[in-house]
Structure 1
Amino acid sequence: MTVGVLIITHGNIGSSLLDTTNDMLGSCPLQLKILRVTRASHPDALRQQTKEMINCLNTGQGVLILTDMYGSTPSNIACYAADEQQVRVVTGLNLPMLIRVLNYPFLSLTKLAEKAISGGREGVYTCLTTNEGTE
């Protein structure tokens, strides 16, 4: 058994990131679902969908929820669900974070959340051009 992953994002962000990750890795080694949040989404319906998805994804090892932006509707819905046992929420979803998570499918929920955070942080750089730094 492995940790389940629930991605809750605005619009198609989650689907686009997962499609790109699947292209890069060839497959998705974890059980994963995506909840798409739009302007028309109703918070109560989102909370209910989130609970249902968590119940479907949790095979005993817990569920890692990844959201795109802290303080927004997706993260608020995720934080509501975090009251459940065996649920961890990590915000700031980016491609390096998702790839890192999917590269460690057999980690515990706590360790997988740590990998998500490290992948997200370590994937952010300032790229210098050849002209910068020479003045």
Structure 2
Amino acid sequence: MTVGVLIITHDNIGPSLLNIANDILGSCPLQLKVLHVTRASHLEFLQAQAQVLINSLDTGHGVLILTDMYGSTPSNIACNAADKKHAQVVSGLNLPMLIRVLNYSRLSLNELTEKAISGGREGVHICLTTIEKHNDTR
């Protein structure tokens, strides 16, 4: 009894992130499906497919939809699909966000949505170079 997760992204971003997450974690603890959008995709088909995937993922606890870029076709498909179902959409998908979601698989839809947002935000850092680190110690 967990929240389902639907990833809607451009091309192979979603499957690639999911493969990496599975390598890191060893498995996927949630019901999760991926819908990838290409230039050749037909919008009506994708919209219908998103509805089918959401229906298959929703066991009564809702569906968290993760998209790669706000305002893009995947994001628009997700927002349209979420309007018709018990679902939340979070854009800006990155690997820390996905790992966070997979690590908190027992949370409610609202709690998992917050974890996705915090994981995405907290996964963004300015990385100091070796020279910058050396200069900071002086």
TM-score normalised per structure 2: 0.95
Deviation at 1:81, TM superposition (A): 1.0
C-alpha deviation, 1:94, in angstroms: 0.4
Higher helix share: 2
SS in 1 for 2:5: strand
Identity %: 72
User: What RMSD over aligned residues (CA atoms) do the two structures have, in Å?
Assistant: 1.1
* 1:98 match: 98
Residue matched to 1:7: 7
Q: What is the distance in 1 between the residues matched to 2:96 and 2:76?
A: 23
Question: How far apart, CA to CA, are the structure 2 residues paired with 1:70 and 1:97?
Answer: 15
Alignment of 1:56-67 (within 5 A): 56-67=56-67
Contact 1:70-1:92 at 8 Å conserved across structures:
yes
One-letter amino acid matched to 1:23: D
Aligned length in residues: 135
1:36 is paired with a residue whose SS is strand
* 1:131 Cα deviation from its structure 2 partner: 2.0
Residue number in structure 2 paired with 1:80: 80
Q: Which residues of structure 2 form unaligned runs of 5+?
A: none
CA distance in 1, matches of 2:121, 2:89: 15
Q: Which residue of 1 aligns with 2:89?
A: 89
Q: Residues of 2 paired with 1:93 and 1:130: CA distance?
A: 29
Question: What amino acid is the match of 1:19?
Answer: N
In the alignment, structure 1 segments of 5+ residues that lack a partner are none
1:113 matched to 2:113: yes
- Within a 5 Å distance, the mapping from 1:119-130 to structure 2 comes to 119-130=119-130
Give distance in 2, aligned partners of 1:132 and 1:25: 32
Distance 1:83 1:15 in 2: 24
Quote the Cα distance in structure 2 between the aligned partners of 1:113 and 1:83: 16
**Alpha-carbon shift at residue 86 of structure 1 (Å):** 1.4
3-state DSSP of counterpart to 1:90: strand
Find the counterpart in structure 2 of residue 70 from structure 1: 70
User: Which structure: larger Rg?
Assistant: 2
Kindly state the Cα deviation for residue 130 of structure 1 after the two structures are TM-superposed.
Answer: 2.7
